[in-house]
Amino acid sequence: VYVGIDAGGTLVKLAYWKDGQLTFSKMPSTEAQSILDELRQEVNGEAICITGGKADWFAKDLPPATKRMVEFEATTLGVRELLGAQNPMVSSFVLTNIGTGTSIHYLDEHTSERATGIGLGGGTLMGLSAMLTGVHRYEDIVEGSLRGKRGAIDLTVQDIYVDAVPPIPGELTASNFGKAWSNREAAQKKDDQLAAITGMIGESIVTISAQIAVQYSTNDIVYIGSTLSSQSSLKQVCSSYTKIRNKIPHFIEQGEFSGALGALLAV
């Protein structure tokens, strides 16, 4: 058995071969102890490679021979592998990894470099949602924001240019939460607040990613991270807002396991 582990700020991701099949799983870092116990007993350290910000912390409970890998290298390796199989036409692109925080890279066939990062990410979604609405569970936050509408909370460019043609696309957000101050009564619905939080985080990340794409002369932005798995509201925001910013969004299936897969490939 070979195992790749990405111990992130919030979730631990695993990639391993099981019955000849590549298998992925993830769990909150706080619940990873039982997996570590299993690995320690069943797997030889040389067959494990671990990456991620919490790698050193977790490795204390793993066999001493466990290999380490720099997070950025593991993620890059995994992304190239997944993208090669799913969308080989995209070869030079901005890679935006929305984890607990967000890290933005540029990759082409030969090189890769970290462009920048931003503290808005999945952790912000969890924290702001809990503070503002009292909703704690990730699934509840996603479901609420999918039901919610942003019109009572966010101010669009068109809202400012009343009865006029705006000089930039009217659907762009002029001010996230910009209506909530004067519109306090209407801005009370939790689902709407969750949608507005998601919108602010997604749009900010997209805006920076699009600017990085301009800097590196590419139109393609590949988004990965656990906040984008399945039908998440953040994924919808990133998809539509990237198009509004005249760039092409790409989402990789199992993209949140890129780091774990990269570590597995390096064992």
78 binds ligand ATP (CB under 6 A): no
Rounded-to-integer distance, Cα 102 and Cα 114, Å: 11
Nearest to 103 by CA among 220, 241, 8: 8
- Which residue stretch of 33-41, 77-85, 94-102, 157-165 sits at the interface with ligand ATP (rule: CB under 6 A)? 94-102
10 binds ligand ATP (CB under 6 A): yes
6, 12 contact by CB (below 8 A): yes
Give min distance, CB of 125 to ligand ATP, in A: 5
CA distance readout (Å), 170 to 174, 175, 256? 9, 12, 33
63 is in the binding site of which of Mg ion, ligand ATP, none (Cβ under 5 to 8 A by kind)?
A: none
Catalytic one of 31, 38, 42, 71: 71
9 binds ligand ATP (CB under 6 A): yes
List the one residue from 226, 233, 242, 258 that touches ligand ATP (CB under 6 A). 226
10 is in the binding site of which of ligand ATP, Mg ion, none (Cβ under 5 to 8 A by kind)?
A: ligand ATP
**How many CB atoms are located within 10 Å of the residue 230 CB?**
7
11 binds ligand ATP (CB under 6 A): yes
8 binds Mg ion (CB under 5 A): yes
264 is in the binding site of which of Mg ion, ligand ATP, none (Cβ under 5 to 8 A by kind)?
A: none
126 is in the binding site of which of Mg ion, ligand ATP, none (Cβ under 5 to 8 A by kind)?
A: ligand ATP
Rounded-to-integer distance, Cα 177 and Cα 213, Å: 27
b (16+ CB within 10 A) / e for 173-200: bbbbbbbbeeeeeebebbbbbbbbbbbb
122 binds ligand ATP (CB under 6 A): yes
Give min distance, CB of 171 to ligand ATP, in A: 25
CA distance readout (Å), 69 to 30, 43, 56, 106, 171? 22, 18, 10, 19, 43
Nearest to 218 by CA among 227, 206, 209: 209
Residue 71 catalytic?
yes
List the one residue from 45, 63, 117, 123 that touches ligand ATP (CB under 6 A). 123
* Closer residue to Mg ion, CB minimum distance, 8 or 148: 8
Residues catalogued as catalytic: 71
